[in-house]
Structure 1
Amino acid sequence: MSLDLSEQRGGESIDASNLLASASRAQSLCRLRREASVRDLLTPDDARLDDQRRYALRTLLRAIVGTIGGDIQDHAHRTLTQRGATAAAQALTRIEAYHIMPAVERCLGQDTVVAGELIERVTLDLIGSALPSGIVAAQGAPWPAGHRTLDQRLLALRQAEGRRQAPPDQPPYAIDLTAECQARFVWWIAAAIARAADADGNARVALDRAIADAGGQVLAGHDEGEGLEGIAARLALSLDLRGDLLVPIVEHCLGERRIVLLVAILAHALGVEGATMRTMIVDPADPRLWLVLRALDLPRETVARLGYAVCEADRRRDVEMFADRLDAIMAISPDAADGVLANLRLPADFRAALDLQS
């Protein structure tokens, strides 16, 4: 069977062998559920995923498993067929997505870096889709026309935005993973497929080898620069906007709900990584977003519009609290704000290592 997520069934049929298999896994499953319940008990309410983000995260995870898993299965099946490993190829075709989802979810639950990346990604997308309309009056495009490279990148950005905003159950799936996340998921999914396959002896050896080769092929064909974030970062680099020139494009991004481009523009102007800027937007408890706007010396009207838009789009934020703080935010000098944010220009891994030793 294909790993197409649209073909998932609700579960396995109930018979004696399935009941025996479930019983053999009961102790491990009970332990995992108990540990999850304890983590949930100790998690502050404001740190829990709401239903909207939970649904978006699971939808993205299904798309990742369906896309990467389907590619691995296709490559491995083709290899096994060419080598005449009929039994292994047949075992591979019997695997469906619902067989491997639990294993991938367990791996994700043990990798806070990848899980955090996905959570921030879906949170940012949800904020972008919820940005209020009418904040900025309609105006022309804030970039020059007639530049071939710029025009090509603008077209690529529009196409990538369209893929990201398409219904999640329809291909092509815009999973847009970083290289690190792609590598993790490729090997998690490959291992889950291998574990789920009913094969032994020579068929098992052939199957594992073909799946490993397929994982390598999938990794070799991945280019994170083709994703929306990579395209937006290249466009921000091409525009290279600073000072007053930032105002029109920031307001354009708000008016057109181009949240990923907004992140890229602000990140490039400040000289930080896109993921760092994204964190400051998606975390409602992080006050550094307001310092970013001051460090870039954006005018009060633009700061007010951006703050209002983000607060309105993210139900976890308090728009009235932002309004009360606006005067205090604007009282911070650009130099003072920039000084506080200076360490964000250091590599993320270096900052993480410094935090561990503090």
Structure 2
Amino acid sequence: MNARGTWSPDALAVRAAEAGTRADRILRASVDDLFLPDAARLGDRTRLTLHQMLRAMVAAIANDLRHQVAGQVGERGAAILTDHGRTFDRVVRAGTLRDDALIAEVIARVRQDLIGQALPIAVGSPDIPSLLVQLATSVDPGVAQAAQALLAADSRRRAALEQAQMTEADLPPALRPALVWSVAAAIRDGDDAEIDQALVAAAERRLATPFAGDGAEDAAMALARAVDARIAERAILLLDALGDRRLGLFIAVIAHGLRLSFGQVRAMTLEPDDDRLWLALRALELDRPVIARIGLALADADPARDIESLADQLDAIAAVSPAAARVALAPLALPDDFRRAIAALASASPTRPRGRDGEGAWR
């Protein structure tokens, strides 16, 4: 725009080119979205909550780094103390939030929380306390303490969901550095060696701080270990956990019973078409009626599940012996690196060894 407030030809050309590029980008994204299979499409609430949580996570890191830098360099750091609404967009453009492991973890947490919130409540009567309250008053001090810790952690998690908040402290340690450093780069404004050094120190301090997060997964696993449900108790405990809307405890009880990680069981529980969940329930020696009740509760909470398909498979699922189910799931208990190595070998093209055939010819 020139001094008289009109656009110059050059400026108009630049704006037209930018608008064309933006329109092309939006069109490509719309086409990609149009042909997404239904199984890969996020629900509207999941998408909204996910976006809000990612924004909150980036903002929390950025605000902490800015305040730390301000404390070191004073007014000279004022340039990076004002967000101007650019930090999140810069982190998105950098591609950090498109990291498969990072986004998979955040999506899993959001889906677990939303499905847990939507589970049908199945408390017997107003006079009967919920499962977790009963466990919190157990005569076993280990069980009582673990249940109280989960009550507190779940309360924090539910408050965070209502406010669409999440901190990178809730992420696995391996995922935190890339995100923190990306935010540090995004809040830079120009090249200033002193400010850069202050940012480095601030990011390193944040990464070195042993954040506790809300601890919901760890608390659920601790309670599952403390209860250590036997075969006869597992069905009741799993059904009560779902009826109490404690999906994390449901996952933890299965994980403890099969000696798998929370993340592995969470993945098979959240995926609507993952038959491994039914194998896991058979491996725990749950019978057909219990599996049907679990499937119905999850279907009520997650519209993506096909309850009719499960009904058609129930007889086949129940026919799988617990021993066979445990054998089928055994590879999950192997170390991650070992399983990846096995998968890499299995996916490699097999080479047929050269040798003599029956007639003595080389092949």
Q: TM-score range by the shorter chain?
A: 0.7 to 0.9
Partner of 2:351: none
Partner of 1:211: 199
For this pair of structures, how many residues does the alignment match? 329
Partner of 2:156: 163
Q: Does 1:47 align with 2:43?
A: no
Q: Which of 239, 258, 261 in structure 1 is aligned with 2:249?
A: 261
Give CA deviations for 1:178-207 in whole Å, capped at 9, x if unaligned: 21232332122122112xx2x44xxx1111
In the superposition, relative to structure 1, how do residues 169 and 338 fare at CA in structure 2: closer, same or farther (>3 Å)? closer
In the superposition, relative to structure 1, how do residues 350 and 77 fare at CA in structure 2: closer, same or farther (>3 Å)? farther
For 2:152, the aligned partner's letter is: Q
Query: RCO greater where, 1 or 2, for CA within 8 Å and sep 6 or more?
Result: 1
Query: Whole-Å Cα distance in 1 between the matches of residues 224 and 213 of structure 2?
Result: 13
Give CA deviations for 1:79-108 in whole Å, capped at 9, x if unaligned: 223xxxx32x21121225x31112223424
Query: Whole-Å Cα distance in 1 between the matches of residues 202 and 215 of structure 2?
Result: 22
Query: Whole-Å Cα distance in 2 between the matches of residues 260 and 325 of structure 1?
Result: 26
Q: Does 1:186 align with 2:180?
A: yes
Give CA deviations for 1:144-200 in whole Å, capped at 9, x if unaligned: 724444433322211111111116575985662221232332122122112xx2x44
Partner of 2:226: 238
Query: Whole-Å Cα distance in 2 between the matches of residues 182 and 346 of structure 1?
Result: 25
**What is the TM-score of this pair, normalised by structure 2?**
0.80
SS at match of 1:152: helix
Shift of 1:277: 0.6
Give CA deviations for 1:275-296 in whole Å, capped at 9, x if unaligned: 1111101111211111100001
Q: Which runs of 5+ in 2 are unaligned?
A: 1-5, 348-363
Q: Which of 43, 63, 66 in structure 2 is aligned with 1:73?
A: 66
- Greater mean deviation of Cα atoms: 222-231 or 183-192: 222-231
In the superposition, relative to structure 1, how do residues 128 and 171 fare at CA in structure 2: closer, same or farther (>3 Å)? closer
Query: Whole-Å Cα distance in 1 between the matches of residues 199 and 91 of structure 2?
Result: 16
Q: CA RMSD in A?
A: 3.0
Asked if the contact 2:112–2:247 (Cα under 8 Å) also holds between the matched residues in 1, the reply is yes
Q: Which runs of 5+ in 1 are unaligned?
A: 1-14
Shift of 1:211: 1.4
Q: Which of 87, 103, 116 in structure 2 is aligned with 1:100?
A: 87
Alignment of 1:329-348 (within 5 A): 329-348=317-336
Asked if the contact 1:179–1:223 (Cα under 8 Å) also holds between the matched residues in 2, the reply is no
In the superposition, relative to structure 1, how do residues 299 and 135 fare at CA in structure 2: closer, same or farther (>3 Å)? farther
